[in-house]
């Protein structure tokens, strides 16, 4: 029995709480993953339920090669082929993911505009420099105008991008020129964010687009509207409102909960309300109230991407990632779990009912029966925040016995935004990506990998994340991380500079020691994957590594993916020219043609392509092989001679 | 940056900024905010602060915002466990260190005006020179521009022994590098060690003793910053460009010698932003990954005999070291060295005896390559303190050799001989003057070696235009006289030929992009009647240079169709400069100061400016540091028009060009000159007089005002009226 439990996570505290839940008869996702098997036909994309004639299941023949006759039979009632069905399912996942990120971005844009107009007390423009940068990006006049005037224009333009019908997204211009031209040439430059998502829903309706290539191209276009549109704007506007992250010390894992304090976990994805909760939790009246209830203070911690957002900006500790959300409640020490949108298990309410924990839903878009609902009102956000914190405090005396907080917490350095990396590599006066590019060229750093994504209850918690990341850094690949992978890395102690010496190859370790960075850089939440795109573009622009993202020795991965957002992210990485490996399962294997198109043809088309490999070591080596292939193409696979300059060579230099 | 280095640099920065703050507070209490402060004779204020921030620190009060900036740049100390990234904060701290050091030094100039000599060389036992003024910057800057000095070594501290100090200094000198010295270690200072060992220090020998304190290291950063502003044409405040310019073009590095204190680390962190790596003789941590510097950032524990070669390699510098078979050190760094009084072993020329130098072409069979003959007494035959007549006759032969190249090669004799340590050479032709020091003779130097030097170096530099060379050195009176008579006849013929050359008489001009290594947008075009504005290159030099190096910085420019004979504009030239300036300039006029004049890199000998009230122009040479009637000192003028700009109303020109016939002929010519510094008038007096006579105004030199008459237009106008200066009656200069 003990052995079986060990297979569920690589984290000791997590295992302790799984055991506690079992003992206390609390059903968790780990149990459900055992009792519910994934539908074998749906999981490979061979089931279509888009009309009332179905669902139609068109599985591959079991245990033998498909014959042409078999293939002919694999059609839905309407005649849609297995290819069409797999492609439809795949791009509907993209639509779901892009909608989630982009709706998050829209919410930020709406708040942003309100702030600019003075309609959202408590919020302000925190990062003026980024405001001006974004104004330049969007073509907003700066002149002698006030920050709020500029911000109002930015907000209007940003919101406009969602409903735009023609042309292309303004922010595509942030990509390398060659990449933009490629998108235009292929006809995948998105017009408006909402329009592309709607068009997926239309095209995948019965009897519309029935060419899998055409469907997948629309998937590309929509994913780009997410990565270079909705997500990018969410990140940029959040930075302006809440500050662009800079390196900060924080902690991670369930051990951050404090038995003697009021524990509030902020779980979900958007920082809009959580920023206010962070402010309110420090108010003397609140602390006084907490003390009056017998608590020593108020202990705020985060979960999932909200955690990443408030960690990056305030150093608020992270209690855990996706698979740890129920377990946090199982500690018996969480007085309130505040949730907004995305990746919130409905079962947190069921688990909470076994303890004293109050689940507080805050988004009008996301309700859970049984939970307390305190709706976030941007016009009076502080009031909402105070009400939430008060509810938590007042719940403190209701704690039941048998509290167990695992003694596991690790330190981490987070806050590596693109702007920060630029600064860190040269200081205020020489900021640039040059040292990164230089050390990639000279081989100290072999390449860069973005390892991101969720947890998946079908696979051992955090194992693939950590195994892959360790393998990459051991091979001198610098890892950029976001989302639940970042939290996993924090829990495994990979996000401190000392990890470089312990886990990284010699070259990477030397660069880390020079700059004072961990070998794995925490860049934020899952909308912040746009930061990785911008970082890759900055590498291209700094020169010496080709003239497009697809020339860079980089790769991406989501070893424990599960959400539709992950598919959207993966697709915009691929469409930006990045080789991207997913683990756990692959949702199109029901069609060889569709899978081949994603895994092979896309490379020719876009320079990046998908791959699937559940073994994290093997996956890491696929990525390294790709990095080496790019190094060779760039001619940096072999050591170069030191160039000594004489006067003639200096004369040949271009002016700076 | 390693954690240890970053932590130390940040601590050091705190100490230095703290010191600056204290000094400033004391100075404010004593003098008040309005008290003027600054480094001597410079248009760049406190240059690092001016370059990086664009702030002009002119008064004590101006220091306040800079101090604030320093403090905002100071990061928190580096945490022992789980530190936040420290490279960038340490670099910021290094920058704050430099700002603070400039403030400290500026206050020192105010508090102790005689602390630094404010000269090129030590004066009366004071060896601390302080900040290089703009005259030094421009004079030395030309060497950086033309490649005679590729960079500098900033030595901080002291060598373990005087002998090691001398060896390292000499090795750097032989690699043509400047040596900037500051700070002390173990009660010793590198510059003092050199002085104790009898080495001549100062700008003349490239061994620059900036100051006794580590704070004076900032003068090196200031020099580098001004090079970017002056020659790179970069705007103050454009810090990024200034720093990248230095990384790419100024081959400097830091050599900390001795225990590296926090303050030293802070200065090293500052230098790294300029792309200057640190090569230490102590076992400090190393920083090998590249990025801010071209290669490694910190290399340590280098043995003293490898220090210079390792530093040059780390900086990524290729130095062509002259292989000259002489028993003394050899290189441009020794050019400025003096041989004085009791040090003289032999003296020739200089009015004491007859001395002559002559390069002449012979037939191939008459020359035996490498043969050096000394006819008459050698150094071993005479007593210390002797005088002898001397003729240096250089005979060359080769298929590509032309008579026109003789004077060019002859002019090389001066610096080629001067490059030998312990040999001082002045003048040329039959007014040459040489002194050989006892120290050189002790090392085995002979007159014969002069021949060896000329053979080796002329072959190296001019090998493409001749095949064989032999040198005869005569020290017998009658032989010397004989050579002198023959040479004098040739000098006369040459002068007539050069004087007779006109722009109309040739189809080809020459470009000069020698200084594009420093002024990337600038391109000179040199015609027979418009010699280079730096004074170094005339048309004939360019022609020879092209023959020697067909892909070099002097390219023939077919002048093509003449678009404007009066102002001097040609189609072929326009096309060339458009291309060579990388599209920055598409045309200019050779003979006008008013209409689209030629560009300047900033290293010109003189700058002329229109004086509208006087209906004429003034010109000022860079050695003159006073005010001028156009309202700007030379250095401000150079800052305004340098960097490859065409600025109507202003031109840069060579001293020689002033008396050439085409000098601003499009605007009326030499009779437009209404003012020039007295020293310049004296320097070019003979030719000025001759040219005045030629145009029929023999009194012109006396009509030109100088600083004794006045330094404003109002002051000099009555003088011009009284003298009846021709400019007053000419057409309005600003049509």
Which residues on chain A are in Cβ contact (under 8 Å) with B513?
A: 651
Whether A5 has a pLDDT exceeding 60, the answer reads no
Residue A129 domain-assigned (yes or no): yes
Residue A348: band (very low, low, confident or very high) from pLDDT cuts 50, 70, 90: very high
Of B156-165, B516-525, B627-636, the poorest mean pLDDT is in B516-525
Of A583-597, B18-32, B590-604, the poorest mean pLDDT is in B590-604
Find the CB nearest A642 among B295, B320, B516: B295
Last residue of a domain, one of A363, A398, A433: A398
Residue A53 domain-assigned (yes or no): no
Sign of CA dihedral A538, A543, A549, A555: negative
Q: What confidence score (pLDDT) does residue B461 get?
A: 82
Q: What confidence score (pLDDT) does residue A2 get?
A: 41
How many Å lie between the alpha carbon of B70 and the closest alpha carbon of chain A? Answer: 12
How many Å lie between the alpha carbon of A531 and the closest alpha carbon of chain B? Answer: 19
A154 with A284, same domain: the answer is: no
Sign of CA dihedral B117, B118, B121, B127: positive
Q: Can you give the residue range of the structural domain that contains A188? A: 82-242
For A650, the token pair is 């200096």
Find the CB nearest B92 among A428, A510, A642: A428
> What's the whole-number mean pLDDT along residues A356-376?
96
Residue A655: band (very low, low, confident or very high) from pLDDT cuts 50, 70, 90: low
How many Å lie between the alpha carbon of B144 and the closest alpha carbon of chain A? Answer: 9
A481 with A544, same domain: the answer is: yes
Whether A569 has a pLDDT exceeding 80, the answer reads yes
How many Å lie between the alpha carbon of B110 and the closest alpha carbon of chain A? Answer: 30
A233 with A283, same domain: the answer is: no
> What's the whole-number mean pLDDT along residues A293-306?
96
Q: Do A516 and B78 touch (CB under 8 A)?
A: yes
CA distance A430 to B216: 23
Q: Do A413 and B234 touch (CB under 8 A)?
A: no
Residue A641 domain-assigned (yes or no): no
> What's the whole-number mean pLDDT along residues B658-666?
93
Cβ pair B378, B448 in contact under 8 A: yes
Query: Checking phi first, is residue A591 left (phi over 0); if not, alpha (psi -120 to 50) or beta?
Result: beta
Task: Tell me whether residue A634 is exposed, middle or buried, using C-beta atoms within 10 angstroms of its C-beta: 0 to 12, 13 to 18, 19 or more.
Answer: middle
CATH number of A374's domain: 3.40.50.2030
Residue A1: band (very low, low, confident or very high) from pLDDT cuts 50, 70, 90: very low
How many Å lie between the alpha carbon of B62 and the closest alpha carbon of chain A? Answer: 21
Q: Does the beta carbon of A428 lie under 8 angstroms from any beta carbon of chain B?
A: yes
Whether B411 has a pLDDT exceeding 90, the answer reads no
Residue A97 domain-assigned (yes or no): yes
CA distance A543 to A374: 50
Residue B546: band (very low, low, confident or very high) from pLDDT cuts 50, 70, 90: confident
Q: Does the beta carbon of A54 lie under 8 angstroms from any beta carbon of chain B?
A: no
Which residues on chain A are in Cβ contact (under 8 Å) with B297?
A: 514
Find the CB nearest A645 among B88, B318, B513: B318
- For the CA atoms of B397, B400, B405, B408, the dihedral, rounded to the nearest 10 degrees, stands at -90
Q: Do A648 and B552 touch (CB under 8 A)?
A: yes
CA distance B344 to B363: 38
A262 with A235, same domain: the answer is: no
pLDDT tens sequence across B447-473: 999 999 999 998 888 888 888 999 999
Q: Do B316 and A642 touch (CB under 8 A)?
A: yes
Cβ pair B13, B266 in contact under 8 A: yes
- Is pTM beyond 0.90? Reply is no
Q: Do A428 and B73 touch (CB under 8 A)?
A: yes
Sheet with strand A477-482: strands edge to edge: A520-524, A477-482, A447-451, A554-558, A579-582, A610-612
Cβ pair B258, B281 in contact under 8 A: yes
Whether the complex's predicted ipTM is more than 0.85 is answered with: yes
Q: Do B88 and A444 touch (CB under 8 A)?
A: no
A222 with A304, same domain: the answer is: no
Last residue of a domain, one of A197, A214, A242: A242
Q: What confidence score (pLDDT) does residue B639 get?
A: 77
CA distance A340 to A360: 9
Whether B322 has a pLDDT exceeding 80, the answer reads no
Nearest chain B residue to A650, by CA: B517
Determine whether domain B332-499 maps to CATH 3.30.1650.10.
yes
Which residues on chain A are in Cβ contact (under 8 Å) with B241?
A: 656
Find the CB nearest B553 among A431, A435, A651: A651
Which residues on chain A are in Cβ contact (under 8 Å) with B3?
A: 513, 516
A435 with A569, same domain: the answer is: yes
pLDDT tens sequence across B335-368: 888 888 889 999 999 888 999 999 999 998 899 9
Q: Do B317 and A642 touch (CB under 8 A)?
A: no
Which residues on chain B are in Cβ contact (under 8 Å) with A424?
A: 85, 87-88
- The DSSP output letter for B60 is G
Provide the H-helix boundaries in A41-81.
68-73
Q: What percent of chain A has pLDDT over 70?
A: 99
Which residues on chain A are in Cβ contact (under 8 Å) with B2?
A: 513-514
> What's the whole-number mean pLDDT along residues A289-305?
96
Q: What confidence score (pLDDT) does residue A129 get?
A: 94
A485 with A599, same domain: the answer is: yes
Q: What confidence score (pLDDT) does residue B521 get?
A: 66
What stretch of H or E contains B340? none
Q: Do A435 and B290 touch (CB under 8 A)?
A: yes
CA distance B275 to B251: 9
The backbone torsions φ and ψ at residue B554, rounded to the nearest 5 degrees and listed phi first, read -110, 110
Q: Do B290 and A438 touch (CB under 8 A)?
A: yes
pLDDT tens sequence across B179-217: 999 999 999 999 999 999 999 999 989 999 999 999 999
Whether B432 has a pLDDT exceeding 90, the answer reads no
Q: Does the beta carbon of A510 lie under 8 angstroms from any beta carbon of chain B?
A: yes
Q: Which residues contact B450 (CB under 8 A, 6 or more apart)?
A: B392, B417, B423, B471, B473
> What's the whole-number mean pLDDT along residues B88-116?
97
Question: Which of B98, B253, B287, B291 is the best substitution to test chain A (most A C-beta atoms within 10 A)?
Answer: B291
Q: Do B249 and A513 touch (CB under 8 A)?
A: no
Last residue of a domain, one of A184, A217, A242: A242
Residue A206: band (very low, low, confident or very high) from pLDDT cuts 50, 70, 90: very high
Residue A89 domain-assigned (yes or no): yes
Residue A5 domain-assigned (yes or no): no
Whether B517 has a pLDDT exceeding 70, the answer reads no
Residue A325: CA count within 13 A, CB half-sphere: 30
Which residues on chain A are in Cβ contact (under 8 Å) with B514?
A: 651
Provide the H-helix boundaries in B32-148.
47-53, 63-73, 87-111, 134-146
Count Cβ–Cβ pairs < 8 Å, chain A vs chain B.
Answer: 148
Pick from A529, A433, A425, A513: nearest CA to A481 = A529
Residue A72 domain-assigned (yes or no): no
Q: Do B3 and A516 touch (CB under 8 A)?
A: yes
Q: What confidence score (pLDDT) does residue A4 get?
A: 47
Which single residue is written with the structure tokens 């920023």?
A275
What stretch of H or E contains B500? helix B477-500
Find the CB nearest B517 among A497, A514, A650: A650
A235 with A259, same domain: the answer is: no
Q: What confidence score (pLDDT) does residue A3 get?
A: 44
Residue A182: band (very low, low, confident or very high) from pLDDT cuts 50, 70, 90: very high
Cβ pair B607, B636 in contact under 8 A: no
Residue A291 domain-assigned (yes or no): yes
For B481, the token pair is 């006289």
For B209, the token pair is 């003793």
Cβ pair B416, B453 in contact under 8 A: yes
Computed over every residue of chain A, the mean pLDDT equals: 95
pLDDT tens sequence across B677-699: 999 999 999 999 999 999 999 99
- For the CA atoms of A277, A278, A280, A286, the dihedral, rounded to the nearest 10 degrees, stands at 100
- Please state the domain count of chain A: 3
Cβ pair A354, A338 in contact under 8 A: no
Whether B145 has a pLDDT exceeding 90, the answer reads no
Q: Do B520 and A439 touch (CB under 8 A)?
A: no
A320 with A429, same domain: the answer is: no
A115 with A135, same domain: the answer is: yes
Fold assignment, B3-315: Rossmann fold (3.40.50)
Question: Which of B51, B87, B237 is the best substitution to test chain A (most A C-beta atoms within 10 A)?
Answer: B87
pLDDT tens sequence across A625-637: 999 999 999 999 8
Sign of CA dihedral B118, B121, B126, B129: positive
- Assigned CATH for B508-729: 3.40.1470.10
Note the Cα A7 to chain centre separation in Å. Answer: 25
A211 with A341, same domain: the answer is: no
A224 with A322, same domain: the answer is: no
pLDDT tens sequence across B468-493: 999 999 999 999 999 999 998 998 88
Nearest chain A residue to B523, by CA: A651
Residue B252: CA count within 13 A, CB half-sphere: 32
Q: Does the beta carbon of A424 lie under 8 angstroms from any beta carbon of chain B?
A: yes
Q: What percent of chain B has pLDDT over 90?
A: 69
Higher pLDDT, A655 or A122: A122
Find the CB nearest B316 among A431, A645, A656: A645
User: What residues 513-532 of chain A have any CB closer than 8 A to a CB of chain B?
Assistant: 513-517
Task: Give the domain ranges of chain B.
Answer: 3-315, 332-499, 508-729
């Amino acid at each position: 029995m003990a052995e079986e439990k060990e297979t569920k996570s690589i984290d000791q505290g997590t295992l302790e709480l799984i055991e506690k839940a079992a003992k206390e008869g609390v059903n968790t996702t780990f149990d459900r993953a055992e009792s519910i098997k994934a539908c074998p036909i749906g999981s490979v994309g061979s089931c279509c339920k888009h009309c009332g004639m179905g669902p139609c299941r068109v599985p591959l023949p079991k245990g033998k090669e498909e014959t042409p006759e078999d293939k002919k039979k694999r059609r839905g009632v309407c005649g849609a082929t297995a290819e069409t069905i797999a492609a439809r399912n795949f791009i509907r996942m993209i639509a779901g993911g892009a909608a989630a990120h982009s709706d998050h971005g829209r919410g930020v844009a709406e708040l942003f505009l309100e702030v600019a107009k003075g309609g959202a007390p408590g919020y302000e423009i925190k990062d003026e420099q980024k405001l001006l940068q974004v104004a330049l990006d969007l073509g907003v006049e700066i002149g002698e105008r006030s920050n709020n005037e500029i911000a109002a224009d930015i907000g209007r333009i940003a919101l406009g991008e969602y409903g735009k019908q023609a042309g292309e997204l303004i922010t595509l211009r942030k990509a390398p020129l060659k990449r933009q031209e490629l998108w235009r040439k292929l006809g995948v430059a998105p017009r408006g964010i909402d329009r592309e998502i709607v068009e997926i829903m239309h095209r995948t309706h019965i009897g519309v687009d029935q060419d899998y290539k055409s469907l997948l191209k629309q998937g590309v276009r929509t994913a780009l509207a997410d990565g270079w549109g909705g997500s990018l704007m969410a990140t940029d506007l959040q930075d302006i409102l809440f500050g662009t992250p800079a390196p900060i010390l924080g902690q991670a894992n369930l051990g951050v909960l404090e038995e003697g304090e009021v524990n509030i976990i902020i779980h979900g994805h958007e920082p809009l309300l959580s920023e206010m909760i962070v402010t309110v939790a420090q108010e003397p009246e609140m602390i006084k109230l907490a003390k009056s209830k017998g608590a020593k203070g108020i202990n705020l911690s985060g979960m999932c991407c909200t955690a990443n957002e408030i960690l990056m900006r305030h150093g608020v500790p992270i209690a855990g990632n996706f698979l740890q959300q129920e377990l946090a409640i199982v500690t018996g020490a969480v007085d309130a779990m505040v949730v907004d949108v995305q990746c919130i298990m409905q079962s947190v309410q069921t688990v909470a009912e076994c303890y004293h924990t109050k689940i507080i839903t805050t988004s009008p878009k996301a309700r859970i029966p049984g939970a307390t609902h305190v709706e976030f009102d941007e016009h009076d956000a502080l009031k909402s925040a105070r009400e939430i914190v008060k509810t938590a405090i007042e719940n403190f005396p209701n704690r039941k016995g048998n509290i167990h907080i695992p003694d596991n917490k690790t330190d981490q350095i987070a806050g590596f935004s693109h702007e920060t990396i630029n600064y860190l590599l040269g200081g205020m006066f020489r900021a640039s990506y040059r040292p990164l590019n230089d050390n990639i060229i000279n081989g100290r750093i072999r390449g860069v990998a973005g390892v991101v994504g969720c947890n998946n209850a079908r696979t051992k918690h955090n194992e693939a994340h950590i195994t892959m990341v360790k393998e990459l850094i051991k091979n001198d690949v610098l890892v950029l991380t976001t989302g639940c992978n970042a939290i996993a890395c924090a829990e495994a102690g990979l996000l401190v500079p000392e990890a470089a010496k312990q886990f990284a190859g010699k070259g990477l370790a030397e660069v880390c020691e020079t700059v004072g960075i961990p070998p794995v850089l925490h860049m934020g939440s899952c909308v912040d994957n746009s930061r990785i795109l911008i970082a890759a573009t900055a590498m291209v622009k700094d020169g010496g590594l080709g003239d497009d993202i697809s020339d860079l020795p980089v790769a991406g991965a989501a070893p424990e993916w599960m959400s539709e957002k992950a598919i959207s992210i993966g697709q915009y990485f691929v469409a930006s020219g990045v080789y991207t490996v997913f683990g756990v399962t692959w949702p199109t294997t029901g069609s060889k043609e569709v899978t081949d198109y994603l895994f092979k043809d896309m490379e020719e088309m876009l320079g990046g392509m998908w791959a699937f490999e559940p073994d994290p070591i093997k996956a890491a080596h696929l990525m390294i092989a790709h990095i080496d292939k790019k190094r060779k193409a760039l001619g940096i696979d072999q050591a170069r001679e030191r160039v000594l300059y004489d006067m003639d060579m200096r004369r040949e230099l271009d002016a700076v | 940056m390693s954690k240890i280095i970053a932590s130390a640099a940040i601590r050091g920065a705190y100490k230095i900024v703290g010191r600056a703050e204290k000094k400033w507070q004391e100075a404010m209490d004593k003098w008040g905010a309005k008290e003027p402060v600054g480094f001597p004779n410079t248009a760049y204020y406190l240059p690092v602060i001016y370059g990086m921030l664009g702030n002009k620190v002119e008064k004590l009060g101006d220091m306040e915002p800079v101090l604030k900036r320093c403090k905002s740049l100071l990061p928190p100390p580096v945490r022992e466990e789980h530190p936040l990234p420290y490279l960038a904060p340490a670099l910021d701290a290094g920058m704050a260190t430099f700002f603070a050091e400039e403030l400290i030094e500026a206050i020192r100039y105010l508090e102790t005006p005689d602390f630094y000599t404010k000269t090129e060389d030590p004066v009366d036992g004071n060896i601390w020179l302080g900040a290089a003024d703009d005259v030094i910057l421009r004079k030395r800057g030309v060497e950086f521009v033309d490649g005679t000095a590729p960079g500098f070594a900033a030595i901080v501290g002291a060598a373990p022994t005087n002998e090691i100090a001398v060896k390292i200094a000499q090795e750097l000198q032989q690699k043509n590098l400047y040596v900037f010295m500051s700070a002390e270690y173990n009660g010793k200072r590198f510059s003092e060690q050199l002085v104790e060992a009898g080495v001549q220090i100062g700008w003349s020998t490239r061994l620059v003793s900036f100051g006794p304190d580590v704070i004076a290291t900032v003068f090196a950063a200031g020099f580098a910053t001004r090079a970017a502003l002056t020659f790179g044409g970069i705007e103050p405040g454009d810090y990024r460009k200034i720093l990248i310019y230095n990384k790419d073009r100024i081959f400097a590095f830091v050599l900390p010698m001795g225990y590296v204190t926090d303050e030293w680390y802070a200065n090293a962190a500052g230098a790294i932003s300029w792309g200057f790596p640190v090569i230490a003789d102590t076992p400090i941590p190393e920083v090998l990954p590249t990025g801010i510097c071209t290669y490694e950032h910190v290399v340590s524990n280098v043995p003293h005999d490898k220090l210079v070669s390792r530093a040059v390699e780390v900086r990524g510098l290729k130095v062509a070291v002259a292989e000259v078979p002489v028993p003394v050190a050899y290189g441009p760094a020794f050019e400025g060295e003096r041989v004085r009084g009791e040090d003289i072993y032999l003296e020739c020329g200089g009015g004491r005896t007859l001395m002559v130098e002559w390069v002449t072409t012979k037939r191939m069979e008459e020359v035996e390559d490498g043969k050096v003959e000394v006819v008459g007494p050698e150094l071993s035959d005479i007593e210390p303190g002797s005088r002898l007549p001397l003729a240096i006759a250089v005979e060359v032969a080769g298929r590509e050799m032309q008579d026109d190249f003789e004077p060019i090669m002859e002019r090389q004799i001066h610096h080629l001989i001067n490059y030998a340590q312990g040999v001082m050479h002045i003048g040329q032709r039959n007014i040459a003057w040489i002194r050989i020091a006892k120290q050189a003779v002790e090392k085995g130097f002979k007159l014969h070696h002069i021949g060896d030097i000329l053979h080796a170096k002329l072959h190296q530099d001019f090998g493409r235009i001749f095949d064989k060379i032999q040198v005869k050195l005569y020290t017998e009176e009658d032989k010397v006289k004989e050579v002198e008579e023959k040479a004098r006849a040739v000098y006369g013929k040459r002068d007539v030929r050069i004087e007779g050359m006109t722009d109309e008489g040739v189809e080809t001009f020459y470009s000069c992009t020698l200084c594009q290594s420093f002024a990337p947008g600038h391109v000179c075009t040199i015609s027979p009647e418009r010699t280079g504005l730096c004074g170094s290159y005339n048309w004939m030099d360019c022609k020879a240079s092209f023959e020697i190096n067909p892909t070099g910085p002097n390219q023939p420019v077919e002048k093509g169709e003449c678009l404007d004979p009066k102002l001097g504009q040609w189609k072929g030239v326009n096309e060339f400069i458009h291309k060579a300036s990388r599209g920055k300039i598409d045309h200019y006029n050779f003979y006008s100061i008013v209409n689209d004049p030629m560009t300047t890199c900033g290293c010109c000998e003189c700058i002329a400016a229109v004086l509208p009230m006087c209906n004429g122009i003034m010109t000022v040479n860079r050695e003159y540091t006073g005010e001028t009637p156009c309202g700007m000192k030379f250095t401000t003028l150079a800052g305004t028009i340098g960097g490859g700009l065409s600025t109507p109303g202003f031109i840069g020109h060579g001293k020689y060009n002033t008396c050439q016939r085409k000098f601003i002929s499009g605007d009326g010519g030499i009779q437009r000159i209404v003012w020039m510094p007295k020293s310049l008038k004296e320097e070019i007096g003979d030719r000025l007089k001759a040219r005045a006579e030629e145009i029929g105004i023999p009194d012109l030199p006396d009509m030109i005002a100088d600083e004794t008459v006045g330094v404003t237009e109002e002051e000099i106008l009555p003088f011009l009226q009284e003298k009846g200066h021709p400019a007053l009656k000419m057409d309005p200069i600003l049509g």
